[in-house]
Structure 1
Amino acid sequence: MSAFGLDESQREFSEVMTSFVADKIAPNAAKVDSEGQFPWDNFRACVAMDLPAMGVPSEYGGIGADHVTQAIMVEKLASGCGSTSLAILISKLGMIPVINWGSEQLKAKYLPRVASGEAQASYCLSEADAGSDVAAMQTKAVRDGDDYVITGTKYWITNAGISDTYTVFAKTDPEAGYRGISAFLVEADWGVKVAKLEKKLGMRGSPTGEVIFDEVRVPKENLVGEEGEGFYLAMKTLDRSRPTIGAQAVGIAQGALDYAVKYISDRKQFGRRISDNQGIQFMVADMAMKIEAARLLVYRACSLVDGDPDGELTKFGAIAKAFASDVAMAVTVDALQLLGGYGYTNDFPMERFLRDAKITQIYEGTNQVQRMVIARQVIGG
């Protein structure tokens, strides 16, 4: 990627994704949302396009695309169906620790299955009393011979009940605080239980649940990294994934703006198109400016995932995620306003865009936490 634009292959990929989403993804979005079921048809269409392979290194059956290209993929999917974009994002999140810190054995065993779409993954970090305060987690992993025995409950787990593997963070040394956290790759059929699925405001096609580990035995080979490295792995994983949450937010905002522009260009009031009114034009201009600024921040942060010589990823990842998600909320509110009363009904997609946008300000670290991260990076200490 050049400093201010996409290269030719990225532009071509963007065009392909635009057509793919219009043909295969967006037409199912309303049904996915209303039924609140995992978007299997959309997921299978993504598999046929090799989209789950985008973030997996080529030596393990993936495509190994750069992170700006991955951001384009996520943005386009989110512009058509937020739940589908999350279905692709979550497996990448679950595999980031394996890709970056897993043993060769773990990579060879699990990554090809995710790349092919045969398997999906979840990321189990949060607990009832340990959301932003990760170090307060109570889930434990006790060594027992050649296994670890994991006991605890994780909350807000995306893809709960769908995923084949769960990347679980647990305390191997409860007395050591955050230094006693370790990471494990746990297969669903080893005894993982889903106790409850949440009824949510948005992203209704992506299940979110409470996941229970009741003395689940995990082979020692499924430890990711070393004992005690879990907190470091979790934070570095979020550094790498937050920019793509920003991309998801940009996609939702762009989808809302595109729909609103079409609506105001077609609908007439007082004998002329709504879009001919200067007040409306100013609203559209403001939305477009915000989206473009968010997109460039996302691209900047994503480029740092691939190469970060000055150690700026933590800061820019938080900036991109916080800014883009705030933009998504602002744009969807204003885009809905342009549809008037129609925007408030579920006969039109605008209220879904607004509902889906909200979570981007919350998951993978609330925007208040992002501002803490940014301030620490700027001020130092």
Structure 2
Amino acid sequence: MDKRDYYEVLGVSKTATVDEIKRAYRKLARQNHPDVNKNDPNAAEKFKELTEAYQVLSDPDKRARYDQFGHQATSGNGGMGGFSGAENPFGDFSGFGDIFDMFFGGRTARGPQRGEDLEYELVIDFEDAAFGVEEEIQVPRTETCDNCGGTGAKPGTETRRCTACNGSGEQQNVVNTPFGRMVNRRPCPVCHGRGVIIEQLCRECAGQGRKRVRRAIHIKVPPGVDNGTRLRMPGAGETSPSGGQPGDLHIVIRVRPHEVFERDGTNVYVDVPLTFVQAALGDEIEVPTLDGKVKLRIPEGTQNGTSFRLRGKGIPKLGSQTQRGDEHVRVHVITPTGLSERGKELLRELGRELGESPSEQTRTFVDRMKSFLGNS
């Protein structure tokens, strides 16, 4: 069967960069590796084809000859298409460590590992989100056992080296494949990766060397946080089981709704009721703000839904010492109800004074609607 075009095999264009070729190979190799895709009988051939294409296209000289002469430039064991001698990518996987790390979980990561990150949801009040707050929280996490110092052994007792793994804490499984010898490492099942055998277990941690505790952590929430804001506390996460750096603690902020204020970014909104008389004649009213009550002048003839802006009375901008949003006061004119006959008569008199009457207003509205519907 004729060989497929190498660019087609990797799914890249002929102008692809070396990085694009490498990314494409990594993705396809992960999908088609024989040890990963065991249900596909053709996985080995596909993987071999991918690797052959990558070997050629990732090398500038080989790629140039391939672009000029095609597969003829790659034929023969002594040519650039052969996988013999020093160029054999399968003997000890030289040059392919990053690919096989993906399949077997990182064979070179043998030093102390970083602890896992933790996430904590902190619920705070609206005002605390605006101006900041300090809180003490209880975070459950795993820490080194203070009784045994992390050894897992009862204090004062000794441990002995595990003979199953010779103290390394891991065992190797060598598998011969059509592509060469593959080495898979796993924690020793006898000593569970410790490298030593514990004769008497620590009572505090049951031989684990680590135990679950609730640690009090002081949190300083800055002004201006909002729902979903994430705060990171470096080193406050899980401790490392192998002596590495601890993970981080991520605080996710949740803000309780306020009974009066609504928030949009750094701006706040508040609805204030006005009587018919206040809206018509104007008035000076008190309105709530995050800083306390302030006076607001309502001009004569204010309409329902009018919004007034109070500059600098909103939410502080996160990370800024001076910038702050505005407060928007939306007025709602309350229509009087339960009027006495005297009140009704006064309103009728006001209507006559303004040159209005209910019947004229109704006719005018009906005429406008008819005109609109007739033109649509």
Structure number with the higher helix fraction is 1
Highest relative contact order (Cα 8 Å, sep 6+), 1 or 2? 1
